[in-house]
């Protein structure tokens, strides 16, 4: 049940909250009270007639459905003719505007044709209601960066860590937007205890938590780092990152994180990811955990297995927190089987010495990339109170990974990202929850099923007493 007593349910196209009327509007006080015997014999017939009438009606239900619409796509970076999209950008809301900065892509050719990956430092700004993004040569990050952690706060966007082609960074800075001067602001904050990229983070109350990731670009090794920064201590000598006890599970890269501040499910949530180490096949994780700040303890949650399906990995997916009292939504996630095939082929290529074998393996690798249908579009919901996973709809387009869900206005913006290996999208989507009145088939079926059972019970009771009465009456 939700906090207002409404039921939690699923509706085609999104996650919903369902409310239905509890009483009969014709008899708001439960109906007339009938005491004489004649009316008692009529009561079954009256009830049967009432049920028959209700069976011919369909109840209305107020539901919340998630709707999507496209916002203006990201513009080209300065000096570029087109914007292929960005993986791992920093993104958030500041000064009323949506901000996207940094990120990485393959601007000249895809990786299976030898394209070189590029890192960017450009920042783009979208003001509410605008039809195009603002660009300016002065809108820059401190350096080209991607695959860091972005946290939207009341003060601006906290950008944490990240990497370029050569190294990971421990830098943390606040990205702001001044609507009056139309300028980007950057303020350095206290650095991480260690360089970090491909991690995940979320805010609970005033505390930012960051988990997982890698510390170097020269060795692909996942970490169990778990660090926290209390924003309420900003401006004091105590404003520094604190390394905390990590979760009781494997190290991980590209996990999914979310935070809830209030309610029975309050805490920092860590889902999935993948465990990488040199010369070792990648392990794709399906586990889930909650960190409780009040106790400093971790809780193991149900594996990511929606509605009885086998556990699945959602590494590199995007978490969306509607509010503190509704399930956490998880959008998409990387394709595990194709990743394993790609990884195996690349391992064989590194070991191959015969040119013919190497060419054949290169063709196999290229086929994996070119035939990839895109990452899964399913949206999952984790009920933090019942601790169960549900299916909650589909993303309206190819679902991006390595991106951020930014709370903006009355919705959430999904900014660019990677839609299949080596391929980005410049598209930006805005998801909103809207309340609609529906007489959907699922509501109607439940309603009519309950009435049908009641009707059958009344018929059975009526038949029983009618037979008893006929046996008692003397024959003529």
Q: Tell me the pLDDT tens digit for each residue of 428-464.
A: 999 998 876 655 555 556 656 666 776 676 777 667 6
DSSP notation for 172-183:
EEEEEEETTTTE
CATH superfamily for 70-335+372-433 is: Kelch-type beta propeller (2.120.10.80)
- Which residue from 269, 249, 273 is spatially nearest to 261, judged by alpha carbons? 269
Give the residue among 65, 5, 8 at the shortest CA–CA distance from 326: 8
Return the pLDDT at 406. 97
Question: Tell me: the pLDDT tens digits for 175-195?
Answer: 999 999 999 999 999 999 999
More confident residue, 121 or 59: 121
**E-state strands within 79-167:** 90-94, 97-101, 104-105, 118-119, 123-126, 149-152, 157-160
Asked whether the beta carbons of 175 and 188 are under 8 A apart, the reply is no
> Which of 22-36, 155-169, 438-452, 454-468 is the least confident region?
22-36
Over residues 123-146, mean pLDDT? 96
What does the pLDDT average to over 245-252? 98
The residue whose two tokens read 């601006």 is 156
pTM: 0.79
Phi first, then psi, for residue 120 (nearest 5°) are: -125, 155
Q: Which of 14-28, 132-146, 147-161, 290-304 has the lowest mean pLDDT?
A: 14-28
Residues 6+ apart with CB under 8 A from 140: 121, 122, 123, 184
Average pLDDT, the chain: 85
Confidence of residue 31 (pLDDT cuts 50, 70, 90): very low
pLDDT for residue 30 = 39
- How many angstroms separate the CA atoms of 106 and 272, rounded? 27
| In the chain, where the domains are located | 22-58+440-471, 70-335+372-433
**Pair of tokens at residue 460:** 């059975």
DSSP 305-317: -GGGPPP---TT-
Name the helix (H) or strand (E) containing 187.
Answer: strand 183-189
Whether the predicted pLDDT of 353 surpasses 60? yes
Confidence of residue 60 (pLDDT cuts 50, 70, 90): low
As a whole-number percent, the residues of the chain with pLDDT over 70 amount to 79
Q: Which of 87-96, 133-142, 329-338 has the lowest mean pLDDT?
A: 329-338
- pLDDT for residue 402 is more than 80: yes
């Amino acid at each position: 049940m939700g906090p207002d007593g409404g039921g939690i349910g699923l509706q085609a196209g999104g996650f919903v909250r369902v409310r239905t009327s509890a009483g009969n509007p014709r008899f708001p006080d439960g109906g007339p009270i009938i005491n004489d015997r004649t009316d008692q014999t009529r009561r079954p017939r009256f009830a049967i007639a009432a049920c028959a009438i209700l069976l011919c009606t369909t109840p209305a239900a107020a539901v919340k459905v998630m709707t999507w619409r496209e916002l203006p796509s990201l513009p080209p970076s300065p000096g570029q003719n087109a914007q292929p999209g960005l993986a791992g950008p920093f993104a958030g809301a500041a000064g009323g505007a949506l901000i996207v900065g940094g990120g990485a892509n393959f601007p000249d050719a895809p990786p299976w044709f030898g394209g070189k990956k590029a890192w960017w430092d450009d920042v783009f700004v979208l003001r509410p209601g605008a039809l195009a993004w603002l660009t300016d040569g002065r809108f820059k990050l401190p350096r080209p960066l991607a695959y860091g952690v972005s946290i939207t706060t009341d003060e601006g966007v906290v950008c944490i860590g990240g990497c370029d082609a050569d190294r990971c960074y421990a830098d943390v800075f606040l990205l702001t937007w001044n609507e009056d001067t139309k300028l980007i602001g950057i303020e350095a904050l206290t650095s991480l205890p260690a360089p970090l990229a491909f991690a995940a983070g979320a805010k609970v109350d005033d505390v930012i938590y960051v988990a997982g990731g890698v510390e170097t670009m020269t060795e692909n090794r996942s970490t169990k780092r778990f660090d926290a920064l209390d924003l309420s201590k900003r401006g004091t000598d105590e404003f520094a990152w604190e390394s905390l006890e990590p979760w009781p599970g494997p190290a991980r890269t590209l996990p999914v994180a979310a935070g809830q501040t209030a309610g029975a499910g309050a805490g920092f949530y860590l889902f999935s990811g993948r465990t990488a180490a040199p010369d070792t096949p990648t392990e794709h994780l399906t586990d889930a955990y909650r960190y409780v700040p009040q106790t400093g303890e971790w809780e193991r949650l149900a594996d990511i297995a929606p509605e009885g399906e086998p556990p699945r990995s959602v590494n590199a997916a995007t978490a969306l927190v509607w509010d503190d009292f509704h399930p956490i939504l998880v959008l998409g996630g990387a394709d595990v089987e194709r990743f394993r095939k790609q990884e195996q082929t690349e391992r064989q290529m590194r070991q191959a010495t015969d040119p013919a074998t190497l060419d054949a393996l290169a063709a196999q690798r290229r086929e994996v990339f070119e035939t990839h249908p895109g990452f899964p579009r399913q949206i999952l919901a984790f009920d933090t109170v019942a601790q169960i996973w549900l299916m909650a709809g589909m993303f309206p387009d190819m679902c991006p990974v390595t991106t951020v869900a930014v709370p903006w206005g009355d919705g959430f913006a999904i900014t660019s990202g990677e839609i299949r290996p080596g391929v980005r999208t410049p598209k930006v989507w805005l998801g909103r929850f809207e309340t609609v009145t529906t007489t959907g088939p699922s509501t109607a079926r439940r309603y009519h099923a309950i009435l049908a059972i009641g009707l059958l019970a009344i018929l059975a009771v009526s038949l029983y007493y009618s037979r008893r009465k006929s046996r008692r009456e003397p024959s003529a």
